[in-house]
Amino acid sequence: MSKIFSCAFFSMALLFPLKAISQQSNNSFLNKGYYLVVAAYFSNQETFAQRYSVKLNEGGLHTQYGLGPNGKLYYVYLDKYEDFNESVNQMLKVRKDGVFDRAWVHIIKEGKERDARIAIQEEPIQNLATTSPEKASTASPSKETERPKREEVEKPVASVSTEVIENPTPKPVFVPQTLKNTQVFLSVYNATNNEVIDGEVEVVDTEGSRLITKVKGNTYLSLPNPGTKSGQLSLIATVFGFRKEQREINYRNTEADTLKPYVALVGNYYMLNFGLVRIHKGDISTLYNVYFYNDAAIMLPESKYQLNSLLQLFNENPKLKVVLHGHTNGNSRGKIIFMGPSKDFFTITKDVVNGSGSAKELSKARAEAIREWLMAQGVSADRVSVKGWGGSRMIHDKNSAHARKNIRVDVEVFED
């Protein structure tokens, strides 16, 4: 199988990791029958076959997957049939629905396997399996017709041309496929449970150590040309609560990168896998998307999303204990607005307490506000401690364009 052909063969399959459910590994070979297949994967990609099957089933289907007799490919299939004409008839219906417009019938017989390529003609779907071409134009769609006899099972169905080939017809692809003409899918997921997670990916010019842009994970996109002699790009996935993961890919000689375990050429796009692991003891992750009102230890409403990510970290690991480090932009003293008795974490209410203090006191109060929010969600108080640093650990000059990032709360794991 040529490289171009094999790549196109998998173009319909959604390879990005998805939320997994309890599904046992399927190492058994598929038995004799006619399988309505919607995706196929190499024998070393069983996990991908499982994830895709899981995703389809979450949408209400009842797919399964299994290994072909030759041991080369895993097939994700909607159903298995004993009757060839019935399998083709169902395939045509599935194609017409549009969700799996490139579904095909995979035939397994006496330990051998082959694919049937079906060319759809203009006859009504409901009559294809039982009506002759001569009668098709006058047959009533609702009229029941006689099922074909057993000996006719592998004859071509009416209005369908059938021939045995190795794979479905591939779509045209560029040769060679590089990042100049081919998009990428940045698959960012939890390596422990295969759950898709939101996060950014930094695109860095490796040769010049220069950040080019930041993009969202789990999206199809065209990567920028670094404009360097090497053409090398570094991609760094950054997600709160997870360790950063870096991947390397070349803009001009991209096909060679498919030898790396995290790069795959899937039809008309490249896939880069970022399997992230949770932070552990000694690691620090920053709550950059938790924001505070000016001079206040009260959070803005848009902080809720990342706070929920922090809460998930605690819920996943009952042994987890952290230190919240508060930081400010500078060390000047000033007023501090504290939460009032109503304990509204996200609103400047009428009962707020107006006070004053040092930058260190403000930073500690902000960390304490997050601690109190976690406790309100059921996290034990002894799992969270706080420390205020004021402006003693700024990461940018306080007058720079990035000074806002000095105002932050870091989460350090000290027990897991």
- pLDDT tier at 266 (50, 70, 90 boundaries)? confident
**Interval 176-198 mean pLDDT:** 89
Structure tokens at 135: 């009668």
Give percent of the chain with pLDDT exceeding 70.
Answer: 79
Domains within the chain, CATH numbers bracketed: 3-165 (no CATH), 183-276 (2.60.40.1120), 284-415 (3.30.1330.60)
Q: Which DSSP helix (H) or strand (E) runs through 77? A: strand 73-81
Considering the chain, what percentage of its residues have pLDDT values greater than 90? 50
SS3 (DSSP) at 33: strand
Complete DSSP assignment for 230-254: S-EEEEEEE-TTB--EEEEEESSSG
Question: Rounded mean pLDDT of 294-309?
Answer: 94
The amino acid occupying position 50 is Q
Least confident residue range of 216-225, 259-268, 322-331: 259-268
Q: Is 0.85 topped by the overall pTM?
A: no
What is the H or E stretch that residue 116 is in?
A: strand 112-120
> Is the pLDDT score of 410 beyond 90?
yes
Q: Average the pLDDT over each of 23-37, 110-124, 237-251, 326-340 and give the range with the smallest value.
A: 110-124
* 107 contact partners, CB below 8 Å, separation of at least 6: 34, 35, 84, 113, 114, 115, 116, 164
pLDDT of 154 strictly over 60? no
Which whole number is the average pLDDT over 31-38? 91
Least confident of 10-14, 88-92, 342-346, 405-409: 10-14
DSSP H or E stretch at residue 367: helix 359-376
Question: Which pair of tokens denotes residue 83?
Answer: 């009757």
| pLDDT, mean of residues 186-200 | 88
Q: In this structure, are strands 210-216 and 160-165 parallel, antiparallel, or unpaired?
A: unpaired
Backbone angles phi, psi at 316, to 5 degrees: -75, -30
pLDDT at residue 71 tops 80: yes
Interatomic CA distance for residues 44 and 73, integer angstroms: 8
Instruction: Read off the DSSP letter of residue 208.
Output: T
pLDDT of residue 117: 46
Which pLDDT band holds residue 123 (cuts at 50, 70, 90)?
Answer: very low
pLDDT at 4 over 80: no
202 band by pLDDT with thresholds 50, 70 and 90:
very high
* 56 within 8 A of 63, measured Cβ to Cβ: yes
Is 269 or 346 the better-scoring residue by pLDDT? 346
Structure confidence at residue 359 (pLDDT): 94
The Cα–Cα gap between 360 and 40 comes to 58
What pLDDT score was predicted for residue 174? 56
Per-residue pLDDT at 227 exceeds 50 = yes
User: What tens digit of pLDDT does each residue of 141-153 get?
Assistant: 333 333 333 333 3
Report the candidate in 387, 383, 390, 378 with the shortest Cα–Cα distance to residue 414.
383
Mean pLDDT of the chain: 80
Give residue 155's pLDDT band: very low, low, confident or very high (50, 70, 90). very low
- Cα–Cα distance between 369 and 391 in angstroms, integer? 18
pLDDT of residue 116: 58
Would you state the pLDDT for residue 298?
A: 95
- In this predicted model, what pLDDT tens digit does every residue of 76-119 receive, in sequence order? 999 999 988 888 888 888 888 878 878 888 888 876 777 654 43
- In this predicted structure, the answer to whether residue 70 has a pLDDT above a threshold of 70 is yes
